């Protein structure tokens, strides 16, 4: 069976940044690795998007007071208004599903959702 690629978008500029990182970690731990291939897209506190691997996307992951996004991942381009592939990771494959773990206005005003769902 082919694995489903899941884009997990987390972090961001909000005061809920650390909560979002913890939530992303919990969701990642709960995903069945036999069925899903996660694509980790972290948004740092400056608003820069990064694609990270599972083993290095968080710093101090076991300490909620010090948890942080590891910014070593490759950058991701968000193309507003594009008709296809509005979110372009450094690898050409596109995530087939997503779970938003971003608590900020970018989800409320549908900026993130419209970037990954054409026609949203």
Q: pLDDT, tens digit, for every residue of 46-99?
A: 888 888 888 888 988 888 889 998 876 677 767 777 666 566 654 455 444 555
The pLDDT score that the predictor gives to residue 50 is 84
Residue 32 has pLDDT above 50, yes or no: yes
Task: Identify each DSSP E strand in 1-120 by its residue range.
Answer: 4-11, 36-43, 49-52, 58-59, 68-69, 74-75, 77-78, 87-88, 97-101
Entry pTM: 0.68
Percent over 90 (pLDDT), the chain = 19
d(CA 114, CA 100) in angstroms, rounded, equals 12
Distance CA(40)–CA(15), nearest Å, equals 20
- In the chain, what is the straight-line distance between the N-terminal and C-terminal CA atoms, in Å? 29
Q: Which two tokens stand for residue 110?
A: 């549908």
Please name each of the domains of the chain with its CATH number.
4-116 (3.40.50.20)
pLDDT the model gives residue 113: 54
Q: How many CA atoms does the CB half-sphere of 77 hold within 13 Å?
A: 10
As a whole number of angstroms, the distance between CA 47 and CA 43 comes to 6
Chain-centroid distance of CA 109 in Å reads 17
């Amino acid at each position: 069976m082919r694995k489903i690629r899941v884009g997990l978008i987390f972090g961001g500029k909000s005061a809920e940044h650390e909560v979002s990182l913890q939530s992303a970690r919990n969701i990642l731990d709960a995903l069945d690795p036999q069925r899903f291939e996660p694509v980790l897209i972290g948004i740092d506190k400056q608003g820069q998007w990064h694609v990270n691997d599972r083993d290095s996307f968080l710093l101090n992951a076991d300490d909620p007071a010090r948890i942080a996004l590891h910014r070593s991942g490759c950058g991701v381009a968000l193309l507003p208004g594009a008709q296809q592939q509005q979110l372009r990771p450094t690898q050409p494959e596109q995530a087939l599903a997503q779970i938003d773990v971003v608590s900020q206005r970018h989800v409320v005003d549908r900026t993130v959702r419209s970037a990954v769902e054409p026609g949203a």
